[in-house]
Chain A
Amino acid sequence: MSDSHFGKLTDRMNSFRDQLLDTVPQIDVDRAMITTKVYQEQQDQPLAIKRAIMLKEILEQMPIFIEPETVIAGNQASKNRSAPIFPEYAMDWVIDELDQFENRDGDVFTITEENKEKLRSIYPFWKHNTLQDRGLAAFPPHSKLFYDLGIIKSEGNITSGDAHCAVNYEGLLKLGLKDYARRAQEKLDSLDLTDYRNIHKSYFYRAILIVVDAVKEFAGRYAALARQQATRCSQKGDERRAFELCGMAEALDHVPYEPARTLREAVQSVWLIHLTLQLESNGHSLSYGRMDQYLWPYYEDDLKTGRITSDEADELMCNLWLKTFTVNKVRPWSHTQFSAGSPLYQNVTVGGQKLVDGEARDATNPMSWLILKSVAQCHLTQPNLTVRYHENLPDDFMNECIEVVRCGFGMPAFNDDEVIIPSFIEKGVARDDAYNYSAIGCVETAVPGKWGYRCTGMSFLNFPKALLIAMNNGVDPQSGTKLVEGTGHFKDFTSFDQVMNCWDKVVREMCRQCVIIDATCDMVLEQDTADILCSCLTDDCIDRGLNMKEGGAVYDFISDLQVGIANLADSLAAMKKVVFEEKKVTPEELWDAMQANWQGEKNQHIRELMKAAPKYGNDNDYVDSLIRQAYDIYIDEMKKYHNTRYGRGPIGGIYYAGTSSISANVPQGAGTLATPDGRAAGEPLAEGCSPSHSADQHGPTAVFKSVSKLSTDDITGGVLLNQKVTPQVLSKMENRQKLALLTRAFFDKLHGYHVQYNVVSRDTLLDAQVHPEKHRDLIVRVAGYSAFFVVLFKATQDDIIERTEQAL
């Protein structure tokens, strides 16, 4: 599995990996039962205290184990890959789907009858008593229409927690949790409780003291278990493992409460906190931040003193990634079918720059290399690996990144320092902090340990659907519901300017509705959930006495997410060209053809004409300038609004644009009628800022050019670009260098924000043989000759497929 460039996993890690891949995940009810009991018994407690006690009880009572293969301890559920239930967020869907978990088409979870009964037994308590229930009740009626009709999606945000952040791991390792408790205690002691606001703060401080103690005891449970196992190993004569377990126990005696002293302690500390955060809340995209930066001092010291070899450190890191992969999340089926593989977006960021005496310097170090290597060796969907690119990123490191790309699992993603850092500074982020940003989840970015939750915001706006509503005089064409005041119907339009006018009017209103929905979710989350540990480890929550949701973070900028950028671009271009310039189709004919979902010979012909119009992703100014213009209207409107933390402490408190909508393009496409770009009803929308599927016919440079024409500086929430490459591009060293050159040029010259490369797999090539219509743009490259794969003869295709195997 692992590419020979990076070497193999050690035997025991390989065995651990195999076991994890073979595991059929289960539904785990322990957390649900403990939480329910705490919520019942502590109903009278202030929210912060209740949440702290909940976490304490979970950490005290949940089953723990240490796998024989592992050198770090900590499990999220009673079995690896099992998914806990978080009843306080949403419970209706859990009960509705109890009998379906095992019968899903994908992402199957097994559950015992006994556990089903347990969940049913707690359901009455949670009925009308979850975050989701309160969220649905809280939406202002008109805004709820947008939510109900799927125009603005934010379901994931009232059925689960926030997360989408990286806590201050650097501080944790240097100071230990005890220092956070000390600071909370000092603050608590100095509060003037005659001010009611300070009474509120006192709950937060008391809650921190509870969770710090709880985490310390949690580590203690693992230390005791490790000692038990050590004794057993010793009895069996396995002195080596016994010694190892004793070492683990000593580490667990110490961290995360105390500062870490060695790399092993540092990794153990980070893992236990990362894990506990996943038990505190079920929000995903909990990220590790700039791990190469905060782990390197420990690794360096261990290497110097001979405490660890580079091979041992490699195994340790692989162990961390395999542990990272054990974390799982079960989502409602309505979500799952569009995000198969239960992604958790646990990001780890390496590379980038650091400031030395105020000067920017390359920050790569041996830990950056080790993280690349170990993630490649594990070859799994988690963690999500990001490399911070900058102009002086060393060539050999860049080449190593390309080697990871070549492994064919879509990693690493590249984010560009040269765009993100200035953009942060411009928005008020201190220079030191801006240089310390990391990726969160997928493409979005924040300053680890200093940023509020969910830098992606709450709501996904479906741009193509918004366009259809705009063209339909403000009425949703699917439901017939009047949503906004329009500017007339497209059928009566006589110029393209009218299209842009209707878009301008409607998208501004949609943007406003996004903010209302976002703010409602935020408000309900603030009232209903409080993540004490997460806030404790985020600056300056303790100083301010506020949790993250209340405005405790140093920075709090969020983007909402815009979906279907390329479809909007292609739709506008097709209407402008075919309808208003060439006048081959009248507005009425086009509208009727779309309503008929292109059925019928005449409509099919209209569809072909619309499809043949210029498409985004081909470096064609005709279409690229239209999407810039259309998107800028939204960006301009978004700048007017504030999030719920505005004026409460954080720098920022505002919104900006973002496109890191990873999988939302599929479900949002499923609920969108035919669009003027020739897309049929129900088909997925384009993802992120990538061109529509098969629309880019001029290779990666043209795609990069088109993407770079967007207002990247204002889309601080992330400009997501997935670029497909064939394994053949990567088969020769000379060509791998070209991929590195291409990436450098995209960032250095075109100031791109993000790119990741998907190596087209052998499976894709096989699929292209069966479904050539889906792979029209698949280009295979061989010496002195390039061709579209689908036009080649079967035997030729087979030959290429054969070679593809060799190349990888």
Chain B
Amino acid sequence: MMIYHVPKHRSKEAMLESAIVFNVQKFSLNDGPGIRTVVFLKGCPLRCGWCSNPESQRKTSEIEWDERSCDGCAASDGLASKVGFIKTGSRRGPDVIRLQIGDPRVDAALRDCPGLSVVGINRTTDDVLVECLQDEPFYEEGGGGVTLSGGEPLVWGHFCVELLDKLKARGIDTSMETTGHVPEKTFRAAIEHLDHIFMDLKQYDTRLHKRGTGVGNELILKNMAYAVSTGKDLLIRTPVIPGFNDSLADARGMARKLREIGVNKVQLLPFHNFGESKYELLGRDDYAFKGVPNTHPEDIEDFRQVYLDEGVDAFL
């Protein structure tokens, strides 16, 4: 397990919460009603082998290297000489642990090499708020607004609550995609400011859940049950992952678990490998689903039928 240096993300002057934000995506589809801006926060307590956003996992800024854009220094040698941190010969990209943004050598390399880019920068709630408000004219019609996502946004619990509070103060619709694997207190504080919640049920069996994601599902289920009890607009989703949760027995188990906590609707997300290339950009070779073909909607029709038989409205 790597140890990260997590700086104090709190600016002294304004006393604003801050967080590492790796993307603010405007006009994002599939993330709630209307036209939405999605704020992606960096860091996640889970390590799902199929994760398609590997850049979201670590809680610090990282450097990506896209060899194809790196015209001046196409070989890793060239990059190595610029950055001075590369394990030469391995073509594995930058060594994330030792690369420190702010180091003049790194900054110089970032400036010179179009193939290098930083993922994630430290931003305050006000800074992010201003960007979200740019699209305010688009939110009203159709009930759009802002969605917080990640990683796991509630890794930055104080930041989320502060930002959501500011958004609600302006009457903006709020939504969050959360794993639910966060302290109950944090979860409840955030939910208070949310209009819509998206959560995953990845496995009903906690042992298997731990094997696939690195954590058990007890805390997640507890938070999910709480979310149900608040009566807020909640959508549960299940990524259907080959060999992890895609058997018909898995479907039955998950459907029953959902009924148990009072959920009768679930969205199934077929597995896709679109994140694979990102692992390489980050210099990582730990993508667990290399070469596994994408699942298409028609492939999981039987799986879906099990839910329907169990009285859970599963849809794609």
List residues of chain A with CB under 8 Å of any chain B CB.
608, 619, 698-702, 704-705, 729, 734-735, 737-738, 741-742, 744-745, 748-750, 772, 781-787, 791-793, 796, 799
Is the pair B138, A784 in contact by a Cβ cutoff of 8 Å? no
Q: A729 — which chain B residues lie within 8 A by C-beta?
A: 29
Given contacts A608-B114, A741-B34, A799-B294, contact A749 B27 (CB under 8 A): no
25 CB-based A-B contacts, threshold 8 Å: A698-B26, A700-B27, A701-B27, A701-B135, A702-B26, A704-B138, A705-B134, A729-B29, A735-B29, A738-B35, A741-B34, A741-B138, A741-B142, A742-B27, A749-B140, A781-B29, A783-B272, A784-B237, A784-B269, A785-B52, A785-B53, A785-B274, A786-B29, A793-B276, A799-B294
The answer to whether B25 has its CB under 8 Å from any CB of chain A is yes
Is the pair B68, A772 in contact by a Cβ cutoff of 8 Å? yes
Is the pair A784, B30 in contact by a Cβ cutoff of 8 Å? yes
User: Per a CB cutoff under 8 Å, which of A701, A735, A786 touches B138?
Assistant: A701
A723 to B31, CA, bound (A): 22
The answer to whether B93 has its CB under 8 Å from any CB of chain A is no
- The binding surface of chain B is classed by DSSP as loop
Q: Mark B257-293, 1 if CB is under 8 A from A, else 0.
A: 0000000000001101111111001000000000000
Q: A781 — which chain B residues lie within 8 A by C-beta?
A: 29-30
Q: A738 — which chain B residues lie within 8 A by C-beta?
A: 27, 29, 34-35, 142
Is the pair A750, B294 in contact by a Cβ cutoff of 8 Å? no
A147 to B25, CA, bound (A): 45
A772 to B28, CA, bound (A): 23
CB distance from B46 to the nearest CB of A (A): 15
Q: B275 — which chain A residues lie within 8 A by C-beta?
A: 785
Is the pair A742, B52 in contact by a Cβ cutoff of 8 Å? no
The answer to whether B299 has its CB under 8 Å from any CB of chain A is no
Q: B134 — which chain A residues lie within 8 A by C-beta?
A: 619, 701-702, 705
User: Per a CB cutoff under 8 Å, which of B28, B141, B277 touches A741?
Assistant: B141
A645 to B27, CA, bound (A): 46
Given contacts A702-B134, A741-B142, A748-B141, contact A796 B277 (CB under 8 A): yes
CB distance from B114 to the nearest CB of A (A): 7
Is the pair A737, B137 in contact by a Cβ cutoff of 8 Å? no
A742 to B35, CA, bound (A): 7
Is the pair B276, A796 in contact by a Cβ cutoff of 8 Å? yes
The answer to whether B144 has its CB under 8 Å from any CB of chain A is yes
Is the pair A783, B27 in contact by a Cβ cutoff of 8 Å? no
CB distance from B61 to the nearest CB of A (A): 19
A702 to B237, CA, bound (A): 30
- The binding surface of chain A is classed by DSSP as helix
Is the pair A701, B277 in contact by a Cβ cutoff of 8 Å? no
Query: What is the size, in residues, of chain B's interface with A at 8 Å between Cβ atoms?
Result: 34
CB distance from B119 to the nearest CB of A (A): 13
Closest chain A residue, CB of each to CB of B28: A786
Is the pair B28, A791 in contact by a Cβ cutoff of 8 Å? no
A784 to B149, CA, bound (A): 11
Q: B29 — which chain A residues lie within 8 A by C-beta?
A: 729, 734-735, 738, 781, 786
Given contacts A744-B141, A799-B294, contact A782 B274 (CB under 8 A): yes
A781 to B274, CA, bound (A): 11
Q: A792 — which chain B residues lie within 8 A by C-beta?
A: 274, 277
The answer to whether B173 has its CB under 8 Å from any CB of chain A is no
Known contacts A741-B138, A742-B27, then 7 further A-B pairs from the complex at CB < 8 Å, ordered by chain A residue: A698-B26, A702-B26, A741-B34, A744-B141, A745-B140, A749-B140, A792-B274
User: Per a CB cutoff under 8 Å, which of B138, B270, B273, B278 touches A742?
Assistant: B138
List residues of chain B with CB under 8 Å of any chain A CB.
25-31, 34-35, 52-53, 66, 68, 114, 134-135, 137-138, 140-142, 144, 237, 269-270, 272-278, 281, 294
Is the pair A745, B274 in contact by a Cβ cutoff of 8 Å? no
A744 to B274, CA, bound (A): 32
User: Per a CB cutoff under 8 Å, which of B25, B277, B281 touches A699?
Assistant: B25
Q: A737 — which chain B residues lie within 8 A by C-beta?
A: 142
A687 to B218, CA, bound (A): 56
Is the pair B137, A745 in contact by a Cβ cutoff of 8 Å? yes
Given contacts A701-B35, A729-B29, A792-B274, contact A741 B137 (CB under 8 A): no
CB distance from B269 to the nearest CB of A (A): 6
Is the pair A786, B141 in contact by a Cβ cutoff of 8 Å? no
Q: B140 — which chain A residues lie within 8 A by C-beta?
A: 745, 749
Closest chain A residue, CB of each to CB of B25: A786
A796 to B270, CA, bound (A): 15
6 tightest Cβ-Cβ pairs between the two chains A and B: A749-B137, A741-B142, A699-B27, A745-B138, A699-B26, A793-B277
Closest chain A residue, CB of each to CB of B34: A741
Closest chain A residue, CB of each to CB of B114: A608
Is the pair B114, A701 in contact by a Cβ cutoff of 8 Å? no
A787 to B53, CA, bound (A): 10
A742 to B28, CA, bound (A): 12
Q: A799 — which chain B residues lie within 8 A by C-beta?
A: 294
Q: A783 — which chain B residues lie within 8 A by C-beta?
A: 30, 269-270, 272
A785 to B142, CA, bound (A): 21
Closest chain B residue, CB of each to CB of A735: B29
Closest chain B residue, CB of each to CB of A787: B274
Closest chain B residue, CB of each to CB of A584: B111
A785 to B281, CA, bound (A): 17
Is the pair A745, B35 in contact by a Cβ cutoff of 8 Å? yes
Given contacts A699-B25, A700-B27, A791-B66, contact A785 B272 (CB under 8 A): yes
A705 to B141, CA, bound (A): 16
CB distance from A113 to the nearest CB of B (A): 52
Q: A701 — which chain B residues lie within 8 A by C-beta?
A: 26-27, 35, 134-135, 138
Q: B270 — which chain A residues lie within 8 A by C-beta?
A: 783
Among B34, B52, B114, B134, the one with the most A-chain Cβ atoms within 10 Å of its Cβ is B134
A785 to B134, CA, bound (A): 22
Among B35, B138, B270, the one with the most A-chain Cβ atoms within 10 Å of its Cβ is B138
A27 to B308, CA, bound (A): 65
Closest chain A residue, CB of each to CB of B144: A741
Q: A700 — which chain B residues lie within 8 A by C-beta?
A: 27
Q: B272 — which chain A residues lie within 8 A by C-beta?
A: 782-783, 785
A745 to B137, CA, bound (A): 6
Among A702, A729, A745, the one with the most B-chain Cβ atoms within 10 Å of its Cβ is A745
A791 to B69, CA, bound (A): 10
CB distance from B192 to the nearest CB of A (A): 25
CB distance from B135 to the nearest CB of A (A): 5
A688 to B279, CA, bound (A): 39
Given contacts A701-B26, A745-B35, A785-B52, contact A796 B138 (CB under 8 A): no
CB distance from A805 to the nearest CB of B (A): 13
Q: A702 — which chain B residues lie within 8 A by C-beta?
A: 26, 134-135
A786 to B37, CA, bound (A): 13
Q: B274 — which chain A residues lie within 8 A by C-beta?
A: 782, 785, 787, 792, 796
A698 to B66, CA, bound (A): 20
CB distance from B115 to the nearest CB of A (A): 11
CB distance from B72 to the nearest CB of A (A): 9
Closest chain A residue, CB of each to CB of B134: A619
Q: B27 — which chain A residues lie within 8 A by C-beta?
A: 699-701, 738, 742
Q: B35 — which chain A residues lie within 8 A by C-beta?
A: 701, 738, 741-742, 745
Q: A750 — which chain B residues lie within 8 A by C-beta?
A: 137
Is the pair B26, A749 in contact by a Cβ cutoff of 8 Å? no
A698 to B38, CA, bound (A): 12
CB distance from A777 to the nearest CB of B (A): 13
Q: A699 — which chain B residues lie within 8 A by C-beta?
A: 25-27
A706 to B275, CA, bound (A): 31
Q: B66 — which chain A residues lie within 8 A by C-beta?
A: 791
CB distance from A435 to the nearest CB of B (A): 24
CB distance from B175 to the nearest CB of A (A): 13
CB distance from B65 to the nearest CB of A (A): 12
A608 to B115, CA, bound (A): 13
A772 to B52, CA, bound (A): 22
